[in-house]
């Protein structure tokens, strides 16, 4: 009964007449009142999920009598405990099965007990985020040897991070953000061989980043922002070649940025802003083709902006505000088609501000307080002196320097995709089960009722189209967000399988030219995918309608977008994916006329021994 807007209270005797009840699923509703103590009479309960409601009062001690309980979720309510000490752990001291305990966002107002490690040693996941907990993290925390996920973020914890945390060898995610923790980051944390996500932001941690950090080869997300860390960034950090996010902003780190940063080939976010970094920006950053967000603002960096930044083909944000950078803004940046935000203010830059590509959309705020920038009047800079080249020659030079290399690269990419698709199989591996690569953990929760409201009861006025297994509607949520809602017709043979395949693929793939999934809504008699809305419709509409027209450059860009998506699906992902239904109606266009491949309902995940060549006869190539 998740997300059905149920209201009212739970019956005080609800546990008395349900002796064989195994699970209570009432998450994300509008229920209130207290949790009845009689719940303990349902002695066969394995799962109790009451999170995301408005329950108040005390957490019943009687929950500890549920000896078979494996998962308890009371998060996002208004529950409290009896005493100032967080004695809820003692409730379950005799429970050998409890694995998951979620109490986040409740005003527990307790003190984390020193005996935390003496209770519930079988716990695998523990979430006390935002519970106004005080005290220190006890050294006994190291006794919870089965923990894979622990979040104590958003509390009022003080003192050091205990070195015994290194004994949590199974730990995959550790969130201690927004507390008052102080002292160094213990080097023992490097022994957490499975750690994939470490968030210690918003504390008072000091000293240096442990030099052994490269030992945590599983690390994908490192967030140490808003602390008091000093010294240089250890060279070992740049050896984490599989890391996705590095945020060291708002510390007092010094020294230069190592050229070894170029080893982080899959890095998507790098934030080193508001430190004391000096020296030049390494050219090797330009090789980080997956980088979407680069912030080096408010440091002491000098020299020029590397021309190699033109190779940051995925870049959406570039913030170099408040440094000592000099020279010109590289013309190579005009090819960054996804760049939405640029700030080079408060530097020592000079020369002409580019006018092509993403620079068409930037305002004067992006270029304030530099030495001698010139360009368009709307940018609040003086006009540039006329160069010896005439405007037509200047345009010709720009085409030779920037457009032709891009076209050449595009032709090569398309050629490689086609040839590789015919001649090369790719050894695949199972889709990753690592929790930190599971985007559904952060999907927005959307109920069937919300979908009804967003589409005005799935009105025909909001119908975008119909496919083999269902219909697609345009929806608008209360916050103004537009989405596309694909509703499966479960009476059709193959609809369930199509839904499962599309969920399996979309929850794992990550590429800017694939349609993005926002959420799913699934129950016994209703299944829907909530997808990113593409305001320009599909390619078929633009190719075969008298009301629309594509120029040659737009057609070429869309071809590049589709080729890039296919290259990723065939060769760039661990398990090759064959669409089997690539056609103009399945290529969607966003506001910027960027192509996004959609509809994975009959796609194939290649298993061992099946090559791309063998799939050519399955359906439309792709």
Q: Annotated binding residue at 182?
A: no
Give the pLDDT mean for 533-562: 84
CA 226 to chain centre: 20
Residue with structure tokens 């529950």?
A: 79
How many helices (H) and strands (E) the chain has is answered by: 7, 38
517 strand-pairing partners: 531
Mean pLDDT of the chain: 84
Regarding beta strands 587-589 and 595-597, do their DSSP bridges make them parallel or antiparallel, or are they unpaired? antiparallel
Rounded Cα gap, residues 383 and 355, in angstroms: 12
Which pLDDT score, from 0 to 100, does residue 429 have?
37
Angle of helix 552-567 relative to helix 404-423, nearest 10 degrees? 40
Q: With contact defined as beta carbons under 8 Å apart, do 333 and 354 qualify?
A: yes
73 strand-pairing partners: 49, 102
Q: Structure tokens of 296?
A: 């080096």
Which pLDDT score, from 0 to 100, does residue 601 have?
66
- Cβ-based neighbours of 556, under 8 Å, separated by 6 or more: 407, 410
Can you give the pTM of this predicted structure? 0.64
Q: Is the pLDDT of residue 612 over 60?
A: no
Which pLDDT score, from 0 to 100, does residue 427 have?
36
Give the pLDDT mean for 488-510: 80
| Higher pLDDT among residues 228 and 63, named by residue | 228
Domains, the chain, ranges and CATH? 420-433+451-615 (1.10.510.10)
Rounded Cα gap, residues 358 and 309, in angstroms: 14
Give the pLDDT mean for 380-405: 56
Q: Is the pLDDT of residue 31 over 80?
A: yes
> E strands within 362-419?
372-374
Which pLDDT score, from 0 to 100, does residue 443 have?
56
Which pLDDT score, from 0 to 100, does residue 345 have?
96
Instruction: Note the pLDDT tens digit of each residue in 557-585.
Output: 999 998 888 887 877 666 777 767 788 88
Q: Structure tokens of 75?
A: 């998060």
Give the pLDDT mean for 310-331: 96
- Cβ-based neighbours of 175, under 8 Å, separated by 6 or more: 129, 150, 151, 152, 153, 197, 199
Rounded Cα gap, residues 257 and 242, in angstroms: 18
Which pLDDT score, from 0 to 100, does residue 114 have?
79
Q: Is the pLDDT of residue 85 over 90?
A: no
Residue with structure tokens 């977008």?
A: 561
Distances in Å between the alpha carbon of 451 and those of 9, 138, 205, 458, 499?
25, 46, 44, 8, 17
Which pLDDT score, from 0 to 100, does residue 390 have?
45
Q: Is the pLDDT of residue 596 over 80?
A: yes
Regarding beta strands 482-488 and 470-476, do their DSSP bridges make them parallel or antiparallel, or are they unpaired? antiparallel
Q: Report, as residue numbers or ranges, the catalytic residues.
A: 581
Which pLDDT score, from 0 to 100, does residue 311 have?
93
| Residue 409 confidence class, pLDDT cut points 50, 70, 90 | very low
Q: Is the pLDDT of residue 388 over 70?
A: no
Q: Which of 4-18, 138-152, 339-353, 400-414 has the lowest mean pLDDT?
A: 400-414
Over pLDDT 70: what percentage of the chain? 84
Q: Which of 55-69, 367-381, 423-437 has the lowest mean pLDDT?
A: 423-437
| Residue 119 confidence class, pLDDT cut points 50, 70, 90 | low
Q: Structure tokens of 261?
A: 């940063």
| Residue 542 confidence class, pLDDT cut points 50, 70, 90 | confident
Which pLDDT score, from 0 to 100, does residue 328 have?
95
> Phi-psi bin for 209: left (phi > 0), alpha (psi -120 to 50), beta?
beta
Q: Which of 215-229, 346-360, 593-607 has the lowest mean pLDDT?
A: 593-607
Q: What's the CA angle centered on 194, arms 249 and 121, to 5 degrees?
A: 110
Which pLDDT score, from 0 to 100, does residue 374 have?
95
Rounded Cα gap, residues 448 and 471, in angstroms: 15
| Higher pLDDT among residues 244 and 433, named by residue | 244
Give the pLDDT mean for 288-312: 96
């Amino acid at each position: 009964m998740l997300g059905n807007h149920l209201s009212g209270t739970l019956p005080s005797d609800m546990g008395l007449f349900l002796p064989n009840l195994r699970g209570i699923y009432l998450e994300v509703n509008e229920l209130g009142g207290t949790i009845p103590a009689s719940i303990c009479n349902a002695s066969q309960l394995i799962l109790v999920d009451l999170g995301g409601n408005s329950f108040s009062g005390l957490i019943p001690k009687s929950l500890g009598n549920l000896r078979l309980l494996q998962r308890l979720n009371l998060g996002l309510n208004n529950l409290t405990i009896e005493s100032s000490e967080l004695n809820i752990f003692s409730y379950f001291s005799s429970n050998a099965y409890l694995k998951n305990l979620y109490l986040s966002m409740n005003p527990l107002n307790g003190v984390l007990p020193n005996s935390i490690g003496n209770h519930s040693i079988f716990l695998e996941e523990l979430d006390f985020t935002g519970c106004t907990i005080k005290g220190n993290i006890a050294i006994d925390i190291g006794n919870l040897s089965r923990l894979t996920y622990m979040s104590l973020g958003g509390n009022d914890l003080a003192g050091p991070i205990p070195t015994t945390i290194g004994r949590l060898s199974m730990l995959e995610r550790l969130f201690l953000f927004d507390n008052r923790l102080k002292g160094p980051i213990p080097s023992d944390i490097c022994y957490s061989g499975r750690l994939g996500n470490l968030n210690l932001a918003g504390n008072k941690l000091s000293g240096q980043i442990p030099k052994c950090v490269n030992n945590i080869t599983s690390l994908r997300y490192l967030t140490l922002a808003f602390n008091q860390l000093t010294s240089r960034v250890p060279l070992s950090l740049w050896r984490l070649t599989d890391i996705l996010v590095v945020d060291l902003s708002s510390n007092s780190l010094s020294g230069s940025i190592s050229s070894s940063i170029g080893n982080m080939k899959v890095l998507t976010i790098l934030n080193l802003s508001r430190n004391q970094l000096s020296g030049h920006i390494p050219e090797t950053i330009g090789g980080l083709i997956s980088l979407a967000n680069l912030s080096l603002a408010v440091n002491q960096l000098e020299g020029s902006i590397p021309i190699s930044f033109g190779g940051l083909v995925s870049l959406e944000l570039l913030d170099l505000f408040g440094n000592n950078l000099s020279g010109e803004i590289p013309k190579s940046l005009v090819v960054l088609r996804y760049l939405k935000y640029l700030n080079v203010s408060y530097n020592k830059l000079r020369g002409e501000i580019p006018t092509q590509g993403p620079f068409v959309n930037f305002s004067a705020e992006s270029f304030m307080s530099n030495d001698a920038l010139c360009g368009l009047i709307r940018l609040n800079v003086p006009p540039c002196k006329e160069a010896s080249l005439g405007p037509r020659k200047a345009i010709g030079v720009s085409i030779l320097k920037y457009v032709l290399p891009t076209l050449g690269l595009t032709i090569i990419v398309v050629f490689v995709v086609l040839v590789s698709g015919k001649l090369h199989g790719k050894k695949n591996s199972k889709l990753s089960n690592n929790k930190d690569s599971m985007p559904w953990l952060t999907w927005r929760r959307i109920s069937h009722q919300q979908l009804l409201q967003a589409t005005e009861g799935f009105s025909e006025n909001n119908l975008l189209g119909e496919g083999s297994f269902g219909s697609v509607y345009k929806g608008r949520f209360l916050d103004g967000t537009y989405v596309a809602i694909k509703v499966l017709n479960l009476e059709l043979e193959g609809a369930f399988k199509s839904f499962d395949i599309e969920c399996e693929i979309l929850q794992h793939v990550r590429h800017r030219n694939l349609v993005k999934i926002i959420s799913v809504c699934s129950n016994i008699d209703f299944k829907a995918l909530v997808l990113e809305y593409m305001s320009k419709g599909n390619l078929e509409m633009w190719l075969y309608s008298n009301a629309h027209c594509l120029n040659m450059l737009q057609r070429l860009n869309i071809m590049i977008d589709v080729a890039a998506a296919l290259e990723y699906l065939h060769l760039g992902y661990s398990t090759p994916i064959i669409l089997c239904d690539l056609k103009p109606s399945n290529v969607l266009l966003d506001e910027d006329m960027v192509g996004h491949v959609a509809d994975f309902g009959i796609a194939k995940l290649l298993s061992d021994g099946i090559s791309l060549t063998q799939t050519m006869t399955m359906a439309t190539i792709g």
